[in-house]
Structure 1
Amino acid sequence: MAERENTGQHAPVARPRLEIEYCTRCRWLPRASWMAQELLTTFEADLGEVALVPGSGGVFEVRLDGEVIWSRTSDAAFTDAADLKKLVRDRVAPGRALGHSDRTG
C-alpha cells in the first residue's frame, strides 16, 4: 500500500492500491488506461496508486487492495465510469458526493 505524505501533523495514512487487469490480446489497454485516468482524476487524494496489469483470456478486472470490486465476464458488457466510480467511492470515501455520476436516469 502507498502512504500519504507525512506533513508533521498526522501519522501517514495508508491509501489503497487499485489494479486494473486487462486482456492484451483483446486490445483493452486503451479502455484500461481511460478508466485509470477517470479514477485517478476523481480519487487523486484517496488512492495510493493505480496499476495497469497486462493479462489474457478476455480478463478485465478491477481490484482494490487485492479484492475484486468489478469483473467483466465473457458474456457481459463493460460497466461505465460512473458505476465504477461509485464502487470505488463506497470503499475509499463513503458518503462522498460524485456530482453528476451520482445522478440516476
Structure 2
Amino acid sequence: MTDVTITYCHPCGYGKRAAQAADALQRELSVTTNLVAGKGGIFEVRVDGEIVAKRIKGHFPDAAEIIASVSAVLK
C-alpha cells in the first residue's frame, strides 16, 4: 500500500490547502492521504517518504500539480 502524506504549517494557515489537496487526490486518484500538522512554513507532499511536491519561496503547488506529481510516482 502506498503512503501519501501532506505535511503543512498549521500556524501559517495551510491546513485548508492541505485538506483541498487531499480531497483532490481522493477524487482523482482514489488515494487516501494522511495530513500532518507542522510548523516553520512547511508544505510537503510525500509518497512513501519521497517528496514529490512542496512549497518553495515564490511557489505554492496547486491541486493539479500535486495530483500530477503523485500520479507520476504511482505509475
What TM-score comes out, normalization by structure 1 length? 0.66
Any unmatched runs of 5+ in structure 2? none
Question: Which has more radius of gyration?
Answer: 1
Give the Cα separation in 1 of the matches to 2:21 and 2:28. Answer: 11
Aligned length: 75
Q: Greater share of helix residues, 1 or 2?
A: 2
Paired amino acid for 2:62? D
Give the alignment partner of residue 61 of structure 1, picking from 36, 39, 44: 44
C-alpha separation in 2, matches of 1:80 and 1:50: 16
Aligned equivalent of 1:78, options 60, 65, 70? 60
1:91 aligns with 2:73: yes
Percentage of identical aligned residues: 35
CA distance in 2, matches of 1:59, 1:88: 18
Q: Which portions of structure 1, spanning 4 or more consecutive aligned residues, are displaced by more than 6 angstroms? A: none
Deviation of the 1:76 alpha carbon: 2.3
Q: Quick check: 1:34 aligned with 2:20?
A: yes
Matching residue's letter, 2:49:
G
TM-score by length of 2: 0.90
State how far apart, in whole Å, the 2-side matches of 1:87 and 1:71 are: 10
Once the 2 structures are TM-superposed, how far is the Cα of residue 83 of structure 1 from its aligned partner?
1.6
1:70, distance to aligned residue in structure 2 (A): 1.1
